Amino acid sequence: MRIAIITVQRVTNYGALLQAFASRHVLSKYGEVNVVDYENPYLTSHMHLIRYGLSTRGVKMFVHDIFNIRNRLILIKKFTSFINEHLALTQRVNSEDLENGVLDGYDFYVSGSDQIWNPKIINQHNEIDPIYFLSFVRPESNKISYASSMGNYEFSSLESTKVKDFLNDFKAISVREKEGVDYLNGLFKEKTITQVLDPTLLLTKNDWLSVFKVKESNYLVSDNYILVYSVPRTKLLRKAILFFANKFNMPVIAIDKMLQPMQGVSKSIRSAGPEEFISLFTNANFIITDSFHGTCFSVNFEKPFVCIPATKKANRQEGLLGALGLLDRIIYQEKDFGNITDEIDYELPSAKLTKLREQSLSYLESALG
């Protein structure tokens, strides 16, 4: 069986790359799997050595990358190496190539995980990209989705009509969040919409360590440490760093691509590759994160952690942690920092995660026939 996955595949984002890897790794059980090397200019610009945009943020990014060029050079080299080694990419294609049928001939086409159905994430104009809905696949071919995400995007009535049309001939549909299930159930009365785990959670901790041969001793940091993995670096998260560093009396290591370090951080690792990301999570004693995938790896590796969402409602993190009985690890206010301990009894959450993993793999088994 030949399987093609359309997902986010050329970015310097740890979660995006590792979910793409996990998707291919799991699907490889069923045959030959390729990740479609779709040229999405908005996303692939993240791989540029010097990024620039016609906006205040774009100019700031340009200046930052100039001063941070050495770290970006190392970072991009590591990500490129990971992509080339692990994703089994197809030839590079654009939307016109795909619509003209250059990738015809696969037995199954999978609309893969991450927020590929969220227009705010994959398009600078906040427009739906039909490619991520497999618009290029011939009607007679098998189309399924696995853990595709809309994030917290709210579709207009016109967009909803397009979404329904795109998904109408899918053989099986699964999404990552409950909100996605509810939304699609409102569009389709005759289809079953399944909620499944993010692909990174389909692999156990031992799977991750086996694949990347990660050892328990981390060559980057030898001492006990608190790990910080943050994208927006909110004010609340910065306060959390100072609070928990003092509470647990441990140095703070940050996976942080920004040139200017955060206050309270002992060491910033600005050019870690995806394998080093796994290693840092594996060996951390406590984790502070605002990231969905940071939360995924924290629970998968059974680490004590705190999730400090960057928004008022983190539906992705809340959905995952609610299903595992760990909602108390999400903190929205500084006054609640004191409720977080440096220990978590993972017996019940891990049992729940195992059951959800089995259900998600069962969906794939059924969808692929």
305 occurs within a structural domain: yes
Give the CATH number of the domain where residue 156 resides. 3.40.50
Residues 66 and 186 in one domain: yes
Please give the C-alpha separations between residue 249 and each of 245, 255, 342, 353, in angstroms, as whole numbers.
Answer: 5, 19, 11, 31
pLDDT above 70 for 221? no
Instruction: Please give the pLDDT value at position 129.
Output: 97
**Which helix (H) or strand (E) covers residue 142, if one does?**
strand 142-145
Provide the 8-state DSSP code for 262: P
Cα–Cα distance list, 343 to 55, 74, 127 (Å): 44, 35, 43
Write the pLDDT tens digit of every residue in 63-73: 877 888 999 99
Q: Would the pTM of this model clear 0.85, i.e. be above it?
A: yes
Taking alpha carbons only, the member of 97, 72, 91 closest to residue 9 is 91
Domain total for the chain?
2
Containing structural domain, residue 211: 205-353
- Residue 104 domain-assigned? yes
Are residue 191 and residue 75 in the same domain, yes or no?
yes
Q: How confident is the model at residue 217 (pLDDT cuts 50, 70, 90)?
A: very low
Orientation of helix 69-86 relative to helix 56-67, angle to 10°: 90
Question: What would the pLDDT profile of 303-323 be if each residue is shown by its tens digit?
Answer: 999 999 988 778 899 999 999
Label residue 214 by pLDDT band (50, 70, 90): low
pLDDT at 110: 98
Q: Looking at the structure, do residues 195 and 293 belong to the same domain, yes or no? A: no
Q: What are the tens digits of pLDDT across the range 164-201? A: 999 999 999 999 999 999 999 999 988 999 999 999 99
Same domain as 14, residue 89 = yes
CA–CA dist 192, 251 (Å, integer)? 48
Residue 77 confidence (pLDDT): 95
Q: Are residues 197 and 232 in the same domain?
A: no
